[in-house]
Structure 1
């Protein structure tokens, strides 16, 4: 399940806040290391957690506690106010994957979400969110992030070689080549009659 939910308008400015970027494994799927992924817009837990918890409370029961690894969060507040209740926030430096958010609820139990780094390019974030929500995957949050980084570096390092090959008349000569996860734009070279 992929959810993009807009939280209610704030009283201060009456403008809708940004939607939550969240992807969850299908309900009833077999347990795996991750239950989905969350792509926050910043590393400010006080600003980001309320919208996430507001979306998850009706789905998973009231979220009462969240834990993070402080390697990815510059400030870890002890408690974050969320629509009528507070959520306790804790941290584990060595015991918890640095790219994971653990959520606990009174009613249902616990969930582990991959935290997609805020400045991740949209195409890479989309791939990470889909992988984390796939119940067949058994990779940890950090291994998924490392794999995405490796694929991005590989795709970028392959580009110069492709450009040389194409400049020598290889397939796709004259085409603009982007990494596989990006959008490809092809422009055929225009031919000019001799003598122009």
Structure 2
């Protein structure tokens, strides 16, 4: 079942980021979208990270994690490539800026995750001392 938020309701983005981006492919934070509709959800995430990456020019994700149809979207007069890959790790999105030094690796918490479980993951993923993998973070709450 795909959860889709009604278009007339505005939601606050549910994102928690580490204070500073990691220097490798460790998780920089977590995001708990309201649905699996990539084109509608990604805009809020991009706005949330705009102080760290501006503009975001590319979003990389596992192609089966999201319902999507567009290969590009426009946000604030910037064209953003949406690149879904079969071999990209599930549960992770990578936001890239105009160079490779501008990048964030963000864990995606499934939309149907309970509030207490998502809160636990958001807190752990944004802890600067936490170097957990996506799998380890999901195990914190026995979410699979």
Q: Which interval holds the TM-score relative to the shorter structure?
A: 0.7 to 0.9
* More displaced 10-residue stretch of structure 1: 136-145 or 58-67: 136-145
Partners of 1:28 and 1:139 in 2: CA distance: 14
Following superposition, which runs of at least 4 residues in structure 1 exceed 3 angstroms of deviation?
28-32
2:33 is aligned with 1:40: yes
Partner of 2:4: none
* More displaced 10-residue stretch of structure 1: 107-116 or 64-73: 107-116
Q: Deviations over 1:134-177 (max 9, x none)?
A: 22222221332244226x9xxxxxxxxxxxxxxxxxxxxxxxxx
Partners of 2:30 and 2:20 in 1: CA distance: 14
Partners of 1:71 and 1:139 in 2: CA distance: 23
TM-score, with length taken from structure 2? 0.82
5+ residue gaps, structure 2: 1-6
| Higher helix residue share | 1
Higher relative contact order (CA 8 A, sep 6+): 2
* More displaced 10-residue stretch of structure 1: 35-44 or 46-55: 46-55
Number of residues of Structure 1 aligned to a counterpart in Structure 2: 137
2:89 is aligned with 1:97: yes
5+ residue gaps, structure 1: 1-12, 153-196
Partners of 2:37 and 2:9 in 1: CA distance: 19
Structure showing greater radius of gyration is 1
Distance 1:125 1:57, change over 3 A: same
Partner of 2:133: 140
Partner of 1:82: 75
